[in-house]
Amino acid sequence: MTLDENHYLKRWRSNFVAGLAIVMPGVITFAVVVWILANVSNVTDKLLFFVPKSWIRTHFADGSWGEIHWYWSWLALIWALFLVCLVGRYGRNYLGRKAIEWLDTAIMRVPLLNKIYGTIKQVNESFSSNKSSFKQAVLVAFPYEGSRAVGFVTGEQAGLGGEKLLSVFIPTTPNPTSGFLLLLPESEVIKLDMSVAEGIKFIISLGALSPDHNSLRLTASPTDAASPPVAR
């Protein structure tokens, strides 16, 4: 390969890397939106139960039905948003609050259903409250000894013998809504000089959006000083 050809390939490789950095955020955003809409439509489409099937689906000659037309799916999504807004509006007045309390009481009296509903309601209230559910970005040994994972402290628990345990949520990447919940002694949790927002960005971006290099150091506190050092 001649010098000119080598220079030509390097230039195009640089152009490709630069273009990828520009296009990738938009492509990922579009893919995430499409994925969300595809999964949400599986639920919202059922709100069109009152519409004749022949209106929203194609009826083939063999008697089978096709997928719901895309414009009906969008209409179902708009209908769902309207219903949520309607519930939110009337749920803020006296009669609406009483109706919600009555519904909660009725559901909580149903065996098995009360466990599922109660758990989901607690998680929803925790994440929808003004107080952040994530209190501190931390570094823990996960999934095996010698490795490190970024997580978030969500609470404190009492362990055996009065030992203080921290509830640490380890999100998956790039979807941080799922993950693992660990109960770890406070001495095994490394608190980071990193905000919760920076930690979430770091996880969603697959580590590409790295925070300031000083963010992976220990916070200046007596407890953290006893923690194992972080490899730099």
Residue-by-residue DSSP string for 53-95? HHHHEEE-TTS-EEEEPHHHHHHHHHHHHHHHHHHHHHTTSHH
Q: In one letter, which amino acid is 119? A: T
Residue 146, domain extent: 136-225
Helix axes 3-44, 70-90, angle to 10 degrees: 60
**How many whole angstroms separate alpha carbon 70 and alpha carbon 67?**
9
Helix axes 94-108, 70-90, angle to 10 degrees: 110
Q: Measure Cα distances from 25 to 33, 107, 174, 197, 210 in Å.
A: 12, 43, 13, 18, 15
Q: Is the pLDDT of residue 222 over 50?
A: no
- Predicted confidence band at 175 (pLDDT cuts at 50, 70, 90)? confident
Is 115 within a domain? Answer: no
pLDDT at 107: 85
Token couple for 154: 């969500």
Is 97 within a domain? Answer: no
Is 96 within a domain? Answer: no
**How many whole angstroms separate alpha carbon 222 and alpha carbon 154?**
21
pLDDT at 39: 82
Of the CA atoms within 13 Å of residue 22, those in its CB half-sphere come to 6
Is 107 within a domain? Answer: no
Over residues 4-14, the pLDDT tens digits come to: 667 777 888 88
230 DSSP assignment: P
Is 154 within a domain? Answer: yes
- Predicted confidence band at 212 (pLDDT cuts at 50, 70, 90)? low
Of the CA atoms within 13 Å of residue 29, those in its CB half-sphere come to 5
Number of structural domains the chain divides into: 1
Helix (H, G, I), strand (E, B) or coil at 50: coil
Q: Is the pLDDT of residue 230 over 70?
A: no
Do residues 71 and 56 make contact, with C-beta atoms less than 8 angstroms apart?
A: no
Over residues 76-119, the pLDDT tens digits come to: 889 988 988 988 888 888 888 888 888 888 888 888 888 888 77
Is 77 within a domain? Answer: no
- Predicted confidence band at 225 (pLDDT cuts at 50, 70, 90)? very low
Mean pLDDT value of segment 206-226 = 55
**How many whole angstroms separate alpha carbon 110 and alpha carbon 1?**
75
Is 217 within a domain? Answer: yes
pLDDT at 86: 87
Helix (H, G, I), strand (E, B) or coil at 195: coil
**How many other C-beta atoms can be found within 10 angstroms of the C-beta atom of residue 76?**
21
Is 175 within a domain? Answer: yes
Q: Is the pLDDT of residue 46 over 70?
A: yes
